[in-house]
Every structure is written in structure tokens, then in C-alpha cells.
């Protein structure tokens, strides 16, 4: 339990640093650390499959995509003045915390359902088969969308033909 | 006793992650930093799926929902970063305020 608390505390620290840091690349690296620690915490909670997926996708793929995006868009100092005044942001966060506790606490203390011995393979491929199909469709849409968004304008691509792929 | 404590600690961490993500979404103006705070928010969601499944005695359903959230969140991140790159290409900046044409 002490290990779990330490992992979760360092994960929160990484998240706060990812929000606070001025440079975009440093922020992406703190986010990768947060993902890795989250994967470890999930594996400690008894769901190693989700932990492995979070580690490979969250800490691996997303970080690569972030570094790629930052290298294309260019490093830009993130120190703009915020549109929302900070005290107002804190008030909104307090209201959000109140709502979260108000909604979550009655469910936390509610009695647990009867445990089901459902394996994760059955849960994914049989119980939630339609959702899995929709996930595949979503990945396909994401690939098509990012290709469409990242494509060069037509005039520029005809001059630079052969350079890229 | 110890099992309950592990879930409680995880729920506190979930609330912390979600609050950090909300604060970032409220305060930040750089588009890539906004995507970072959205990721932090989604990590809280992933953790709460696993915790809820474990607390209710149905860890498989919670895990499969967490995997769904990971996939959807990754796709959203990829599209949002591609949009940020396009904004940088056409507006010359990553400032979200530059998207508004009313203030110029």
C-alpha cells in the first residue's frame, strides 16, 4: 500500500509539472513519466493488461506523437497570460470538486455488486464486441483524419513531389 | 481494510489528476499545452475505470472500459495535435486566442 501511495503521489507530481513547465518538450516528457507511473499503478491495482497498454500507448505512442508535433509546430514559449483570471479558475475548480464529491461519495459507499468471474478476453470480445468494433472504426477514422489534416496543400505538394514518400 | 485503503488512495489520486487537468484547461492558452492537460484529465478517467471495476467486483468490465478510454483518448490526441499544427501553419502561432477573429 505504501508503494501504491508513492507511485500515485509521484504520478500527481509529474502531472503538475507537465502543466507548469514552460517548455513544450519538457511538458511532453513529464506527461510520459505520468503515463508510465499510471501504468505501474494500474498494474499494482490488479489489472496488468490495462497497465501494459497504458505504458505502451500512453508513454510510448503518445509521447512520440507529441515530440513529432512539437518538432513540426516549433517550440513556442507557453507563457501567455491566461484568459480566465486565476481566482476565478480556483473558484470553478472548487465548485467542480464539490460536484465530484457530491456525486461520487454515495456511490463509493454503496454496497458492491456480486463478484463476477468474467475474464477480460470474454469481456472485450464477447460482452462488448460491438464496442471493440467501434474502437477499430475509431482508430481508422483517426488515421484518416490525421492524414487529411497533415497533408500539404495541393500546390505545395506537387512541387515537393518525390521528397515525401 | 488494506484493500479498501488502496481503492481510497486511488480515488484521491483520480480527483487530483482531474483537478490538475481542469486547471490546465482553464488557465493555459498554448494549444499543445491544452492537449497535455486533456491527456492528464483522461488519465484520471482511465484510473477511475479500473478503480470502479475493482471496487464493484467486476474487474474485467472495468479493464475493458479503460482500454476503450485509452484508444479513444489517443485518437482524440492525434487529431487535436494535427489541428494544432494546422493552426500554427495558418495563424503563425499556437495561441488559442489567435483563433478568434472578433478581437482583431
Number of domains in chain B: 1
Say what the pLDDT of residue A162 is.
46
Chain B environment of A86 (Cβ under 8 Å): 27
Query: Could you report the average pLDDT of every consecutive run of 10 residues in chain B (104 residues)?
Result: 70 91 90 93 93 85 90 93 88 81 61
pLDDT in tens, A132-164: 888 899 999 988 888 888 877 666 544 444 444
Mark yes or no for CB contact A116/B9 under 8 Å: no
Q: Is A107 within the bounds of a domain?
A: no
| pLDDT at position A107 over 60 | yes
Say what the pLDDT of residue A163 is.
44
Q: Is A36 within the bounds of a domain?
A: yes
Q: Of the candidates B20, B77, B78, which has its C-beta nearest A15's C-beta?
A: B20
If you average pLDDT over residues A83-93, what whole number do you get? 85
Chain A environment of B103 (Cβ under 8 Å): none
Number of domains in chain A: 1
Which phi and psi (to 5°) does residue A47 adopt? -130, 70
Q: Is B55 within the bounds of a domain?
A: yes
Q: What is the ipTM of this complex?
A: 0.90
With 0-12 CB in 10 A as exposed, 13-18 as middle and 19+ as buried, what is B39? Answer: buried
CA distance A136 to A132: 6
Say what the pLDDT of residue A22 is.
86
Q: Please tell me the distance in Å from B6's CA to the nearest CA on chain A.
A: 6
Q: Is A12 within the bounds of a domain?
A: yes
Q: Which residue has the higher pLDDT, B36 or A114?
A: B36
Q: Is A123 within the bounds of a domain?
A: no
Cell of A112: 458492491
Look-up of cell digits 484518416: A144
Q: Please tell me the distance in Å from B13's CA to the nearest CA on chain A.
A: 6
Q: Is A100 within the bounds of a domain?
A: no
Q: Please tell me the distance in Å from A70's CA to the nearest CA on chain B.
A: 8
Look-up of cell digits 494544432: B84
CA distance A71 to A163: 18
Domain that holds residue B52: 2-99
Q: Is A18 within the bounds of a domain?
A: yes
CATH number assigned to the domain comprising residue B30: 1.10.287.3510
Mark yes or no for CB contact B74/A62 under 8 Å: yes
Chain A environment of B102 (Cβ under 8 Å): none
From the CB of residue B82, how many other CB atoms can be counted at a distance below 10 Å?
21
Q: Is B44 within the bounds of a domain?
A: yes
Q: Which residue has the higher pLDDT, A66 or A125?
A: A66
R_g of chain B, CA atoms, integer Å: 17
Chain A environment of B69 (Cβ under 8 Å): none
Domain that holds residue A52: 1-79
Say what the pLDDT of residue A78 is.
58
Any idea which of A36-50, A101-115, B32-46 has the lowest mean pLDDT? A101-115
Q: Is B104 within the bounds of a domain?
A: no
Say what the pLDDT of residue A115 is.
66
Q: Which residue has the higher pLDDT, A125 or A24?
A: A24
Amino acid at each position: 500500500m505504501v508503494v501504491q501511495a508513492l507511485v500515485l503521489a509521484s504520478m500527481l507530481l509529474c502531472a503538475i509539472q507537465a502543466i507548469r513547465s514552460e517548455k513544450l518538450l519538457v511538458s511532453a516528457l513529464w506527461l510520459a513519466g505520468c503515463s508510465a507511473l499510471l501504468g505501474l499503478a494500474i498494474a499494482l491495482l490488479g489489472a496488468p493488461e490495462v497497465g501494459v497498454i497504458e505504458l505502451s500507448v500512453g508513454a510510448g505512442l503518445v509521447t512520440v506523437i507529441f515530440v513529432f508535433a512539437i518538432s513540426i509546430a516549433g517550440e513556442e514559449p507557453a507563457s501567455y497570460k491566461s484568459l480566465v483570471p486565476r481566482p476565478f479558475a480556483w473558484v470553478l475548480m472548487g465548485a467542480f470538486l464539490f460536484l465530484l464529491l457530491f456525486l461520487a461519495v454515495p456511490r463509493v459507499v454503496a454496497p458492491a455488486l456480486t463478484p463476477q468471474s468474467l475474464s477480460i478476453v470474454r469481456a472485450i470480445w464477447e460482452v462488448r464486441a460491438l464496442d471493440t468494433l467501434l474502437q477499430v472504426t475509431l482508430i481508422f477514422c483517426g488515421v484518416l483524419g490525421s492524414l487529411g489534416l497533415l497533408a500539404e496543400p495541393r500546390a505545395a505538394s506537387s512541387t515537393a513531389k518525390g521528397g515525401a514518400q | 481494510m488494506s484493500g479498501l485503503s488502496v481503492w481510497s488512495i486511488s480515488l484521491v489520486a483520480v480527483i487530483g489528476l482531474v483537478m490538475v487537468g481542469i486547471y490546465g484547461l482553464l488557465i493555459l492558452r498554448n494549444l499543445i499545452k491544452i492537449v497535455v492537460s486533456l491527456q492528464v484529465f483522461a488519465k484520471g478517467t482511465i484510473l477511475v475505470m479500473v478503480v470502479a471495476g475493482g471496487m464493484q467486483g467486476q474487474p474485467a468490465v472495468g479493464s475493458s472500459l479503460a482500454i476503450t478510454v485509452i484508444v479513444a483518448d489517443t485518437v482524440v490526441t492525434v487529431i487535436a495535435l494535427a489541428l494544432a499544427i494546422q493552426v500554427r501553419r495558418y495563424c503563425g502561432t499556437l495561441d488559442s486566442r489567435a483563433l478568434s477573429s472578433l478581437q482583431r
